[in-house]
Every structure is written in structure tokens, then in C-alpha cells.
Structure 1
Amino acid sequence: MLEELEIRALGPIQQARIMLAPHAGMNAITGETGAGKSMLLNAIELISGAQSQPARVGVDADQSWVQAIFDVSGNDRVLQLADEAGSECEDDQLFITRTVPKSGRSRSVLNGRSVPRGVLKNMTSQLVTIHGQSEQLKIANAVKQREFLDSFAANSSARSAYSQAYTQYSALKEKLDKLRHAQSDAVAQIDYLRDAISRIETVDPHVGEDEELKAQRDYIESATEIALARGGALMALDASAGEADEPSVSELLARAIHALRSVEHIEKMGALVSRLEAASDEIQDIVYALSQDADDDISPQDLDTINERIHDLDELMKRWGPSLDDVLAWKEKAQFDLEDLDASPERIQELEKELEKSLEKAKDAARTLTATRVAAAEELGSRVTEELKSLAMEGSELHISVTSRDELDSFGADSVTFEFVPFPGSPRLPLGKSASGGELSRLMLALELVSFEKKHAREGDADENAPRGSVPTLIFDEIDAGVGGKAAAELGKRLALLARGAQIIVVTHLPQVAAWANKQFVVAKEKTRDGAYTTVTHVDKEERVAEIARMLSGSQSDMSLQHAAELIEECTLRIEG
């Protein structure tokens, strides 16, 4: 839900700050023609990721600046998108800022962090729906029509079941097509994989074996040097290892221990004896280890065998490495690939049977999905047609056709088309080719109203207790084109009804519409010596009565003021009732 909109140097608006009606409610934007009401819509489009227009930067400014603050409490999808963009929301508030310079690129900021313009589009698509001249045409798109119908049908479980079945069918079909159309390539690949797997299995490496062998080779290649060093160390440590004239370390330690035996009852001397005995034990362990190494039988044949093994492992790693871990991982994957590439007639026949079963399952799911759309299309078209009567479009009709087709795609086995009949006797025509801008606005209002009522009926009173951030923001522009009198009052009533479960912002010229609003803002052009600028003012009480009076008769006579006050009071009582 949009809480606040602030604008600086956008078109004729030097500075404006709009605090919108809290929670669900209706906000009316009024003002004389040419005052700059379109700039407010342009500001919301900018924070929604629309293309920037430097020509709209204020005359005396270097850049335009727009900021919107949204309450997103309870809106898990938006909170998740903000986290993914690295712009976490604090206190369930989302800040979107857009700066448009007169020259150069615009800058988009989400919660203080610069983000691509596409992030704003993705984010605000979950928060704001604009029913303006350009946005209205989107409902003429077949994809948008199908999405709207699915939302009305609340058929997410049927769509999910179909999506799973279709995904499985598509994967099997792709696998089978690959085998059928590339058997020769598959055979060559199979031969290669089998030879490679056989080669790896013949060598039969284990993880880390290459490093172990290289360590052994280094040891063997240094065998002579190691033997000499070991012999010298043994002679120095143990007299029994050689015929040296000098006493060994073991013998010297024995002498030292013997010399101290007589005084070991003295605590300090006893401690020294213990340390010497420990040193003697450690020396004996070292002598034993050196003696064991001396018993190793090292031959040139061992070195040849190790080098051959290292060579075999290096060959594997050159082809499927760079490490033995990679070689073994490649072999495991190759074994799975080999099963998938089995192009034998038996394997193809097996896949054909699987594909046939998968196709039938997908078709069953598609029929179920189509049934939900057909039922929803009949209800939606009938209810919108009835709603249009209250919006000065007596005789207009909305027809929604769901046409089955043989081919499956990601969204089912049918095509959804919204067709509009603007007056009795007119042929059904695609929505974008048969309705004017004002008619499209009112048609979108009727669609939103019927959808809201359907959702409210499904969820009962859940919406009344819903978090503020989960309330959608709907913006209507030029919805009152060609409407007047009783139909205008009914149009305002319908917007107020929709505002019970949504935040409504409507740009209107009709007092019968504005009088229903919970909050009203007046856009006015002020003239100064240096030119003109636009102000946006929240009006209430006497100021609002004066604005409604102006809208009623173009003046503020006693009669028009009285009429305006009565109109506001009547609408307020009906809203509260």
C-alpha cells in the first residue's frame, strides 16, 4: 500500500508531498484541465520503473526526484524480492526513489541501494496497478487476459498439477527426440563413453594415489643418500650399530643416568634423572624406526613400477582431470549419460511408452485446467456485463471465450480471448480494437470490482484483518470520460465499493466521483512573476466543499456550495453505511 508520494521538479510541480488515505480507501485527484494532474500519474509510473523522460524535468532544475514509501507488512513476496535485491525492508517499509537528470541516465534506489530499473518494475508490479491510457491496453494482451481469468478462477492447484505433468512430458519428449534424430551421433558418443569408462576402470585409480606414488618415487630416488644419512645417525645414536671409537648418544645417556643415580633421592636430581630416562627412551624409539627403514628392500624394479603407474594416472588426468577426483566424478557422470544415450530399439520403445503415458497425464491435467477456465469465463463475463450497466455502458457486453486446441504448451491446451461488444448489434471484437479509452477504464473497473467481490466471497472477512501492506493499490485515470449525471454517481459508488478492499487513487473531473473519496487532493496552477508552477494540496472540510462546488458549476456561489456540501455528506453517509 502506498503511504506517501513526494515529488520535486517534475514538470510544473516544484515540490509536493502527498500523504494518502490509510489502509484501504479512496483518494481523489482533482483540478482544472491543464493544471498538471498527469504529473502525479507520471511520478507513480517513474517509481514503477517506466522509461524516464528528461523533457519533464522542471524548467529551473537539473533533475527531477520522486520518492514513494510503501507499507509492505504481510506482503511476503515483496519482502522476499527486496531481500534478493540486497535492500531489506526495515519496519515493513519500502522506499523507492527515482532521479531523472536533464542529461544522462536516471537512477533507481531501493531502500537506499541503487538497483536496475527492472527491479523497480518487478517490485511495483506486486504493489501497484495503473489503469491509465497506456496501461489499459495491456488487458488486450492474450497473456494478461489468461492471467486475469486464472486469478478470478483461483485455479492455482490445477495450474500447478498441469505444470508438473507438462514439464515431465516435455523432458521425456526431448529425450526421445534426441535419440530419434541423432542416433548416429548417439552411437559415436556411446562408443566414446564406453571406451573412456573402460580405460578408467582398467587403471582403477583411487583418490590421492598420484600424490602417494610421487612421494614413494622421491623416497626411492633418494635411497642412497637416505641410507648414508640413516647409517650415520644410527652410529651416532647407538654403539651397537657400528664400530666407531667414540661413544654413542645412547651410551653417553646411560653414563649420565648412572652418574646421577647416587643422588636421585634429592628432589631436583631425581627430576633430572627422570628427564634423562625419558630422553633415552625417545632415542631408543628413533633408533628402532631407523633400523626398520634399513630393512626395506628397495630395488630399481620398484621405481619402474611406480613410474609406470604415475604415467597411467597422468594420462587419465590429462583427459578427464585435472585431478583424480575429477576423473572419478567424470566417470560417474559418464555412466549416467551412457544410460540416457542408449539408442537401442528396446530403449526407444520403452521411452515411447513412457511418453504416451506422460502425454495422457498432461492432457488430463489440461482438461481439468480448461474446465476451471470455462466456468470462470462464463461467470466473469456475465458479472462484468451486469456491472457495466451501472457504469453508463448499458448494452455493452464482455464475452470471454476459452477455445480448446490440440497442442499443449506451458499454460495448457486452450486459448483465452476477451471480446467486447460496445453497443447492441455490434460484432464481438478483440478488446483492444473495440473499446475507447474511457470504456476501457470503466471495463477495467468492472473487472476489478467483480474480481474483488469474488475474492471477498472466497476469503470471507479475511481481508478486513489483512496487514496493511497486503492491500493492493489501484490507480484509475480518465475513467470518467463520457460519463455524467446519475451514471457518474454510480461510478463513484463503484470506486468506493472497491476501495473497501483496496487503496484507490482516481484522477477525475467529476464531482460525483470525487465526493465519494476518503481523501481529496487538488492540483492547481499558481502564477508568479517568473512564470507558473503547480501545487498539490490536501483539501478537507470547507476547502473540499469549495473544490466540489467548483467542479459542479465552475463557481463558488451559495447554491453550488450548498449542493457540494450535501453531495459530500450524502456520499460520506453511504460509505459509512
Structure 2
Amino acid sequence: MLEELEIRNLGPIHHAVLDFAPIRHALLDFAPGMTAITGETGAGKSMLLNAIRLISGAQADAGRISAGADETRAQGIFAVADGSAAAAIADDAGAPAEDGELFLTRSVPAKGRSRAMLNGHSVPRGVLADLAGELVTIHGQADQLRIASAARQREFLDAYAGDDKALESYRAAWQALKDLDAKLAKLHGQEAEARQRADYLKDAVARIDRVAPQPGEDEELKAKRDRIENAAAIAQGVGGAVAALDSSQMGYDDDGGAGVAQLLDRAVQSLRGIRLGGVFDEAADRLEAIGGEVSDVMLSLTREVGDGEDGTDLDAINERIHDLSELVKRWGPTLEDVLAWREQAGLELEDLDASPEKLEELTRRRAELAAKAVKAAGRLHEARAKAARELSRKVSDELADLAMSGAGLDITVSSRLDGTADALEAHGGDDIAFLFTPFPGSPQLPMGKSASGGELSRLMLALELASAERRGDGTAAASRTGGGGTPGMTFIFDEVDAGVGGKAAVELGRRLATLARSAQVIVVTHLAQVASWADAQFVVSKAAASEANGAAAKGVATTVSRAEGEDRVREVARMLSGSESETSLDHARELLAQSKLD
């Protein structure tokens, strides 16, 4: 929802207009529900839409800058919900929402490049465009062509249908089919170099598999070989060490042959014999601990002698080390690298394997995926066709209440399915068209080519109302890419009242107010019968510029002010009769009192 719009030094695109009146500064604080923007013809109401387009990522134009100013600047503050698509876009851009708000800012200097900012952070202009697609939809003459595209119409219908399960099921089946098609195309299109690569990988994998290396095996074998080759030296060294530590282990009994273990034991016994405790017992304890360490060392050494490699084939070990070394030379530098290379080579080989058996298997799998995609496309077609019939009827009914009696919308969903997957595309196998009949007897024509700007705006209002009614049933969430927003979405209607008057204008205002129950609605209007339904009203007018109000030059400037109380009564009276007579003022009060939804 748009909470606030601030504009500085914004003018019309064409400075040649004689009654050029820039907006030096304007601050509009919007509220939920319906807001009307009113003012005399030529006052500059369209500049408010230009400001919103700027913060929505539109192309910058230095011609928008008011005379004498260095830059034009527009900022919109939007309220967003946690977990919403808009919040996710802001997070990805590194400028997350603050207290549930997003600040979209655009500045256009007289010279140089424009700047786009989100929550005070510079971002690409496309980020603002992506955010605006989730936050605001403008239905004006310059914006209607979006819904005229087949892609936008399909998105609107899919959102209205609300069958996310059918849509997601088809997308998954389509993607699986396309991935397999790409793999088959790669196999069929392999050139000689790719086949040589496959042959090399096959030979290399076979060679590694024949050796069947194990992680760390080469280092273990080298250590084992060293022990075998030095078995005699190990036995001699260990024997001498053990004898020095404990002579009893080697058969010595006389005192002259006592080892370290016996000597430590004697020292401990001597100290214990003092029987005075204190420092003597502490020394004995320390010597006993040393003796325990000596015993552990002797046990470890005697095990080493006992674990000799008697009977081990040294030639076999050397041959195995040689085989492993050859692998390391080719695909090392370590045995672990060899194993990792072999795993990667196996995966690559699967992609390069163009054997008849492999191709046959993939072709069979492709047929299964194609059948699955065709079936999913059929379910999606049924959901779309049902939604198209319902939406066409509801929109046609709405048009009758919007001064377009006899007009109608016919949404066609034509299936291209022929039993194969050849006709499928990323979004299904349907051709969708929104065909508009502006008056009885008129041929059905594509949207955008069959109606004026005002008629298109009312047609879009009818679509939005039908979508809002669907959401009220809790069955669908509507598209953000050309219509059909969710609660919190901001809809802006321009020219929606063109060619409308009398009772039809009252009904138009009522329908806009109805839409405003589920989304924020901002309407630029010159009809009092429409503006009277609004929850808030802003008046755009011209005034003489002065240094006091921030104008940089003499002339005329556009001002925007909120009309409340008697000020609003006077503005509605002006819209009704062009004057503020007692009769028109009474009429305005009566109209405002009557313009209430039940």
C-alpha cells in the first residue's frame, strides 16, 4: 500500500506547453481505501502519475525537471507485509524493509545519470521496476498495453483460476522434459572430439578400477615396507632399549644388570622406608609415576617387536606401491585426488555416453516424460477454460454497470495439444486471448485495439472487480503483472471516467469504492459523482509561484492539497457546477452523504 508520495521540482515532459506549471514540492499522505485526485483540466494531475512511474523504474527524462531546478526527485513509501514478494525482492537487493516499509526514491539531475534508491541504498533501476510490479498497478492510457500482450493475459487468467497445483505440476513436467531433450541433443550432436574424450575417460576409469585404490593406502604400504626392510635393526634396537629399562625382560638377575625399572623401584622402596611422609612421600609418588611411564614404553616397544611382518611378501608390496604411484603421476598429486578424479570422470562419462543402449534408455524415458507433460497440460487447460468462462461472464456483467451496456469480454482458451508434446511451451499448450466487444454488433477485437483509453480503464476495473470478488471467495490470488492484486496492492486509475456521466458516473464511483475494500485505489477523476465515493481527496491546482513557497522562478506552480471538511464540499461543488453557490454546495453535501457503501 502506498502510504506517502513526495515530489520535488517535477514538471510535464514538454516544456513547450504554454501553461507549464511544475510541482515545486508536494507531499501526499495516502490512506487505505479509495483516494480521489481532482482539479481543473490542465492543473497537472497527470504529473502525479509521472512521479509514480518514476519511482516504478520508468525511463528518466531530464525534460521533467522544472525550470531553474538542478534535479527532480520523487519518493514513495509503501507498507509491505513480512514474507511478501516485495519484501523478498528488497532482501535480495540488500535493502530490506524497515518496520514494514519500503522507501522507493528516484532522482533525475539536469545533467548526468538518474539514481534509483531503495531504503537509502543505491540499486539498479530494474529493482524499482520489479518492486513496483508487486506494489502498484497503473491503469492509464499509457499503461494499458501491458494487458494487451498474450503473456500478461495468460498470467491474469492463471492467477484468477488459482489452480496453483495444476500450474506447478505442469511446470515441473515441462522442465524435466526440456532437461532430457537437452541431454539427448548433446549426445546426438557429439563431434569427434567429444567421442575421443569419452574413450579416454572409459580407459582411465577402467585403469583406476583395476587397481582399486583405497584412501591413504599408498602411505600405509610405504610404512609397512619400511618396517619389513628394517626388521633386524628394529629388533636389535628395541631389545637393547628394553634391556636397559628392565633387565628381567632379558634374563638378567644380578644387581649389576639392573635396569631402569628395577632402580626406580628400589628408590621408591627406600623413600617409603623413611616413614615420615611429607617431601619423601611426594618424591616416592613422583618416582612411581615415572615407573608407570617406563612400563608403558616397554609394553609398546615389545609389541612392536611382536608385530613383525614375518611372512609378508615384500615384492607384492613394492608392486602395489608401483601401481598406485602410476595412478598418482597421472591424476594426482595424491591418491585422494585420483579417487576424486575418478568419481568426476564417471559423472562426465554418463553425459558423454552415446552408446545405443544409453540412447535407447533415454529415448524411452523421454517418451514417459512427454506423456506426463501432455497429461499435466490437459489438466491445466481444463482449469483455464473453466476460469475463462467464469471471468468472461463476470466482467461482462460488470461492464453493464460501468456505462458500457452491450459491451462484453470473451476469453478464449484454445488448446494446441495433438497427443504429443511437440506443441507444448513453457506455459502450457494453450493460446489465450482476451477479446473485447465495445458495443453490440462490433466484431470481437483484441484488447488494446478495440477501445478508447477510458473504455480500457473501465474494462480493467471490471477485471479487477471480478478478481476481487474471486479473492473474497478465498479461491484465488490475482496477478500483479497487469491486474488482479492482493489486499495491500495499489491500483491507480486514470481516464476511467472518460465519456461517463449521470447515473453511470455514480455507479462507476460505487464500483471503485467496492474494489477499495480489498485493495488501495487511487483514481484521477474530473467527475464529482466519482470523487464523492473516495475516503480521501486531493486537489491539484495552479498558484502563483513565489520565493515563499520554494519556487526558484516567477510564474505559475502546481500545488497539491488535501481537501477535508468544507474544503472538500467546495471542491465537489466546483466539479458539479463550476461555482460555489449555495445550491451547488448543498448538492455537494447531499452527494457526499449519499456516496456510502452499505
TM-score by length of structure 2 reads: 0.81
- Deviations 1:388-437 (CA, angstroms, capped at 9, x unpaired): 23333334332322222241011111111122333444333322222222
Report whether the alignment pairs 1:378 with 2:378: no
Tell me the residue number matched to 2:460. Answer: 444
For residue 214 of structure 1, report the CA deviation from its aligned partner.
7.3
Contact 1:70 1:469 survives alignment (8 Å) = no
Task: Judge which range, 342-351 or 534-543, deviates more.
Answer: 342-351
The equivalences for 1:7-156 within 5 A come to: 7-11=7-11, 12-22=22-32, 25-73=33-81, 76-156=84-164
Report whether the alignment pairs 1:413 with 2:429: yes
Report whether the alignment pairs 1:454 with 2:467: no
For residue 366 of structure 1, report the CA deviation from its aligned partner.
1.4
For residue 143 of structure 1, report the CA deviation from its aligned partner.
0.2
Tell me the residue number matched to 1:501. Answer: 518
For residue 442 of structure 1, report the CA deviation from its aligned partner.
1.7
- Deviations 1:546-577 (CA, angstroms, capped at 9, x unpaired): 111222222222222222222222213xx2x2
State the distance in 2 between where 1:419 and 1:469 align: 25
Contact 1:197 1:334 survives alignment (8 Å) = yes
Contact 1:165 1:365 survives alignment (8 Å) = yes
For residue 234 of structure 1, report the CA deviation from its aligned partner.
7.9
State the distance in 2 between where 1:81 and 1:150 align: 22
For residue 332 of structure 1, report the CA deviation from its aligned partner.
3.3
Tell me the residue number matched to 1:364. Answer: 375
Gaps of 5+ in 2: 12-21, 251-255, 418-422, 477-484, 547-552
Return closer, same or farther for 1:483/1:500 CA change in 2, 3 Å cut-off: same
- Deviations 1:58-112 (CA, angstroms, capped at 9, x unpaired): 4454333333222223663333333333333344333333333333343333334
For residue 521 of structure 1, report the CA deviation from its aligned partner.
0.4
Tell me the residue number matched to 2:282. Answer: 271
Counterpart residue identity of residue 450, structure 2:
S
Contact 1:29 1:522 survives alignment (8 Å) = yes
- Which residue, 366, 371, 374 being the options, matches 1:355? 366
For residue 227 of structure 1, report the CA deviation from its aligned partner.
11
State the distance in 2 between where 1:78 and 1:219 align: 69
Counterpart residue identity of residue 500, structure 1:
R
Q: 1:358 is paired with a residue of what secondary structure? A: helix
Task: Judge which range, 200-209 or 139-148, deviates more.
Answer: 200-209
Q: 2:51 is paired with a residue of what secondary structure? A: helix
State the distance in 2 between where 1:29 and 1:232 align: 105
Contact 2:227 2:309 survives alignment (8 Å) = no
Counterpart residue identity of residue 61, structure 2:
Q
Contact 1:183 1:343 survives alignment (8 Å) = no
State the distance in 2 between where 1:61 and 1:470 align: 38
Q: 1:68 is paired with a residue of what secondary structure? A: strand
Q: 1:168 is paired with a residue of what secondary structure? A: helix
Return closer, same or farther for 1:5/1:345 CA change in 2, 3 Å cut-off: same
Q: 2:3 is paired with a residue of what secondary structure? A: strand
State the distance in 2 between where 1:292 and 1:155 align: 74
Contact 1:79 1:89 survives alignment (8 Å) = yes
Tell me the residue number matched to 1:314. Answer: 328
Return closer, same or farther for 1:310/1:374 CA change in 2, 3 Å cut-off: closer
Identity of aligned residues (%): 51
For residue 6 of structure 1, report the CA deviation from its aligned partner.
2.5
State the distance in 2 between where 1:357 and 1:471 align: 43
State the distance in 2 between where 1:294 and 1:368 align: 77
Return closer, same or farther for 1:117/1:224 CA change in 2, 3 Å cut-off: farther
Q: For this pair of structures, how many residues does the alignment match?
A: 561
Contact 2:487 2:519 survives alignment (8 Å) = no
Counterpart residue identity of residue 407, structure 2:
S
Report whether the alignment pairs 1:558 with 2:582: yes
For residue 27 of structure 1, report the CA deviation from its aligned partner.
0.3
For residue 491 of structure 1, report the CA deviation from its aligned partner.
1.9
Contact 2:208 2:327 survives alignment (8 Å) = no
For residue 527 of structure 1, report the CA deviation from its aligned partner.
0.6
Report whether the alignment pairs 1:546 with 2:570: yes
For residue 294 of structure 1, report the CA deviation from its aligned partner.
7.6
Counterpart residue identity of residue 119, structure 2:
N
Contact 1:10 1:56 survives alignment (8 Å) = yes
State the distance in 2 between where 1:210 and 1:10 align: 77
Q: 1:29 is paired with a residue of what secondary structure? A: strand
State the distance in 2 between where 1:470 and 1:230 align: 86
Tell me the residue number matched to 2:291. Answer: 280
The equivalences for 1:180-329 within 5 A come to: 180-182=188-190, 188-209=196-217, 253=264, 256-257=267-268, 259-286=270-297, 289=300, 308=322, 311-318=325-332, 324-329=335-340
Tell me the residue number matched to 2:541. Answer: 524
For residue 28 of structure 1, report the CA deviation from its aligned partner.
0.3
Q: 1:408 is paired with a residue of what secondary structure? A: coil
State the distance in 2 between where 1:228 and 1:527 align: 113
Counterpart residue identity of residue 567, structure 1:
L
For residue 335 of structure 1, report the CA deviation from its aligned partner.
3.6
Contact 1:210 1:313 survives alignment (8 Å) = no
- Deviations 1:130-168 (CA, angstroms, capped at 9, x unpaired): 112332110111100111111222222221222222223
Report whether the alignment pairs 1:429 with 2:429: no
Return closer, same or farther for 1:258/1:470 CA change in 2, 3 Å cut-off: same
- Deviations 1:304-347 (CA, angstroms, capped at 9, x unpaired): 668635632422434xxx65445334433444554555544444
Q: 1:409 is paired with a residue of what secondary structure? A: coil
Tell me the residue number matched to 2:494. Answer: 477
Task: Judge which range, 66-75 or 125-134, deviates more.
Answer: 66-75
Gaps of 5+ in 1: 461-467
Tell me the residue number matched to 2:177. Answer: 169
Task: Judge which range, 248-257 or 3-12, deviates more.
Answer: 248-257
State the distance in 1 between where 2:543 and 2:7 align: 17
Q: 1:497 is paired with a residue of what secondary structure? A: helix
Return closer, same or farther for 1:219/1:309 CA change in 2, 3 Å cut-off: farther
TM-score by length of structure 1 reads: 0.84
Contact 2:234 2:305 survives alignment (8 Å) = no
Tell me the residue number matched to 1:463. Answer: none
Return closer, same or farther for 1:50/1:219 CA change in 2, 3 Å cut-off: farther
Counterpart residue identity of residue 27, structure 2:
R
Tell me the residue number matched to 1:4. Answer: 4
Higher helix proportion, which one?
1
Return closer, same or farther for 1:246/1:73 CA change in 2, 3 Å cut-off: same
Counterpart residue identity of residue 565, structure 1:
R
Tell me the residue number matched to 1:464. Answer: none
Report whether the alignment pairs 1:567 with 2:575: no
